[in-house]
Amino acid sequence: MRMASIDTVDDGQIAAVRATHPGAFRTGRDGLRKWAPWVIAIAYVIGSLIYFDVHLLFQASERALRLLRAMVVWEDMANWQYANIYKGIAQTLAMAFLGTLLGTIGSLFVGFLAAKNVMPIRVVRQMVRRFLDILRGIDQLVWGLVFVRAVGLGPLAGVLAIFISDLGTLSKLYSEAIENIDRKQVEGVRATGAGPFAVIRYGYLPQVLPVFISQSLYFWESNTRSATILGIVGAGGIGMILIERFRAQLYDQVFFVVLNVLVIIFAIDWLSKRIRLWAIGEKSH
Amino acid sequence: MTDIPMRGGSAGASGDAPFDAVATFERHRAELKASKRVWNLLALGAFTIALGLSIWISQFYPERLAEGVPRIFEYFGTIMPDLQWDRLFEGRDAQGNAVPGSIIFWYTDFWTYVELLWETILMAITASLLGTAVAFVLSFPAAANLAPNGWVYWFSRRFLEFCRGVPEILLALVFVFAIGIGPLAGVLAIAIHTAGALGKLFAEVNENASDRPVEGITAVGGSWTEKMLYGVVPQVMPNFFSYAMLRFEINVRASSIIGFVGAGGIGAELNRVISFYSDDRVLAVLILVILMVTIIDLISEDIRHRFIGKENF
């Protein structure tokens, strides 16, 4: 069988097709449009890395080696103050739990205030929303630092930081969930002559509760992660122990703590998945 | 309601005992309720124990809270600038000193902040591009349907998990130690985290891609790389782009705080003004950071919509 090959097509045929179907051929401008973003991106990355002194990366052998060595060689393991480490981890878990819980409770109220279909007064709604924007605009770590200045070192500052930043984000998500509900149930409850609170309880809550629960569980998960680093600014938890030992150049212990934290984070991920299945999954079928 | 006699089916037609639908329903419901109640009680118990333990461990007691909360409001009082209406827009005087109470006095270090914000944005862009590139390459072996073999799949999955498992700040701390204080440490830390987080999302997009184009490329004898490049990439590109832009927005936030551990950007200044001064400078920097984040979000949203709109068109 004779294959149709590019060799059997002569230039005249190509020119003829080019004349009848100009769109099928790449022009110089198409090529430019295709490649220019890539060239610009690569040039930018190289340029900015040089601007950020990328050569430092290749001079770091001694310290980097020390870190890498500490990953493998664990010295003096008997005196690592494990109780201290696990107390820090417990503190982190407690901070994440309390912060998320408080954030959820707060968002239950604020979320309804920010939802268009529950709060008809535009001014109130807009004010609540701008307030939430501010809470969200400031990073959790900054909140942590601010609360450390205000209430002192320790987990209380961490709980407050998680609470405030969760309030900003969860309220927004909650209010969006409330705005996206089915109107019919609400109207049905209202038609029976229910008051505003009964309408929220029987019209809105059954629809939005699964969304609320699953979002709060996600936040619990992600707060467990972020609570591990809140301690870096002094807001309690394992982060404080981590940074103390890092400053004391006990890198093997730091590595051990990080491994523990990773295990805890995976465990919480798994647990939250199970709880989500238990609380919401069985309702869906 | 049970006093209303209701009968299911053709009740009363035959002489058999009537099938009482309501009673059956009620009994079934009671059984379900009972079994659910046990679980609910168990969950409530676990929840209460967790709550009690948490309160005890984090010392979250009412009296500590009552003591701390007023100090929070006090603190917000101290970071308020002392602006005076009549001098608000006054310029510098003959000696070049700003007048207390004017905006210029409040924002004395304005240009330092702007420079640092600029650095922050550059860090976020570089880190996003680097991280996206790594995520792009790894997302194909990390997709269950596209991985060339089990080992490559397992290894790339675990690598991505590790990248996103370690918090950015921690990576930054390590890099600051290894290569010194400066934005490079922050860029690397954010890039690694981005690679991990985006790699997972990209892999999920790949798993949802149609395999018919891939089969087409296989049929004409394409190699694995060619299958990915011509079979998968054109399908997933819009999603990748939109995820990468969303990640860029997150990275702008991340790079604005990563300076807390000395990894460049506005974070170092933020840490300094909060830890050492705690005066109106805190608010000055915070306002600028929020402004920057908001503007970047708006621009990125606009780009995303435009790009996706074009793709659909």
What tokens does A224 get? 């467990």
- Residue B143 CA from chain centroid, whole number: 22
Contacts A155 to B, Cβ<8 Å: 57-60
Place of tokens 């900054």: A142
Q: Where is A57: in which H helix or E strand?
A: none
Contact at 8 Å (CB) between B11 and B19?
A: yes
**Cα of A270 to nearest chain B Cα, Å:** 14
Distance CA A69, CA A112 (A): 54
Place of tokens 């790009």: B307
Contact at 8 Å (CB) between B294 and B300?
A: no
Instruction: Kindly identify which residue of chain A lies nearest to residue B285, measuring between CA atoms.
Output: A138
What are the residue ranges spanned by the domains of chain B? 1-60, 103-312
Q: What is the pTM of this model?
A: 0.81
Contact at 8 Å (CB) between A150 and A129?
A: no
What tokens does B68 get? 């701390």
Q: How far is CA A53 from CA A59, A138, B131, in A?
A: 11, 29, 18
Contacts B286 to A, Cβ<8 Å: 138, 142
Contacts B129 to A, Cβ<8 Å: 41, 44-45
Distance CA A206, CA A218 (A): 20
DSSP type of residue A237 = S
At B48 the pLDDT is: 93
Contacts B174 to A, Cβ<8 Å: 67
- Inter-chain residue contact B178 with A67, CB threshold 8 Å: yes
In whole angstroms, how large is the CA radius of gyration of chain A? 29
Distance CA A261, CA A89 (A): 7
Contact at 8 Å (CB) between B131 and B247?
A: yes
Euclidean distance between the first and the last CA atom of chain A, given in angstroms as a whole number: 58
> Which of A91, A141, A271 should we substitute to test contact with B (largest number of B Cβ atoms within 10 Å)?
A141
A24-80: per-residue pLDDT in tens?
A: 777 777 778 888 888 999 999 999 988 888 888 887 677 788 888 887 888 877 778
Q: Per-residue pLDDT for A113 more than 70?
A: yes
**Cα of A245 to nearest chain B Cα, Å:** 12
Q: Whose CA is closest to A270, among A213, A200, A216, A217?
A: A217
**Cα of A181 to nearest chain B Cα, Å:** 25
- Inter-chain residue contact B57 with A41, CB threshold 8 Å: no
Query: Cα A45–B136–B172 angle (5° rounding)?
Result: 55
pLDDT by residue for chain B (313 residues), tens only, comes to 445 554 444 444 444 556 788 888 888 888 888 888 888 899 899 999 999 999 988 888 888 888 888 888 888 888 888 777 777 777 777 776 777 777 777 888 888 999 999 999 999 999 999 999 999 999 999 998 888 888 999 999 999 988 888 888 888 988 888 888 889 999 999 999 999 999 999 999 998 888 899 999 999 988 989 989 899 998 898 889 989 999 999 999 999 999 988 888 899 998 888 888 878 888 889 899 989 988 998 999 888 888 776 555 4
- Inter-chain residue contact B179 with A51, CB threshold 8 Å: no
- Inter-chain residue contact A98 with B58, CB threshold 8 Å: yes
Contact at 8 Å (CB) between B256 and B266?
A: yes
**Cα of B231 to nearest chain A Cα, Å:** 18
Q: How far is CA B230 from CA B148, B236, B257, B310, in A?
A: 16, 11, 40, 20
Instruction: Kindly identify which residue of chain B lies nearest to residue A240, measuring between CA atoms.
Output: B170
Q: How far is CA B42 from CA A20, B56, B309, in A?
A: 76, 21, 50
> Rounded to 10 degrees, what is the CA torsion of A179, A180, A185, A187?
40
User: Which residue among B165, B187, B274 places its CB closest to the CB of A262?
Assistant: B165
Q: Does A142 touch chain B (CB under 8 A)?
A: yes
User: Which residue among A49, A98, A149 places its CB closest to the CB of B54?
Assistant: A98
Distance CA A140, CA A99 (A): 12
Number of Cβ within 10 Å of residue B43's Cβ equals: 13
Q: What are phi and psi of A119, to 5 degrees?
A: -105, 100
- Inter-chain residue contact B75 with A160, CB threshold 8 Å: no
Q: Does A144 touch chain B (CB under 8 A)?
A: no
User: Which residue among A138, A151, A229 places its CB closest to the CB of B72?
Assistant: A151
User: Which residue among A53, A137, A246 places its CB closest to the CB of B290?
Assistant: A137
Q: Whose CA is closest to B108, among B279, B295, B290?
A: B279
ipTM of the complex: 0.78
Q: Where is B279: in which H helix or E strand?
A: none
Phi-psi region of B12 (alpha: psi -120 to 50; beta: other; left: phi over 0): left
Phi-psi region of A237 (alpha: psi -120 to 50; beta: other; left: phi over 0): left
- As to burial, measured by CB atoms within 10 angstroms (0-12 exposed, 13-18 middle, 19+ buried), residue A275 is middle
- Inter-chain residue contact B57 with A91, CB threshold 8 Å: yes
**Cα of B257 to nearest chain A Cα, Å:** 7
Phi-psi region of B18 (alpha: psi -120 to 50; beta: other; left: phi over 0): beta
CATH classification (class only), B103-312: mainly alpha
Q: What is the amino acid identity at position A88?
A: G
Task: Please count the residues of chain B.
Answer: 313
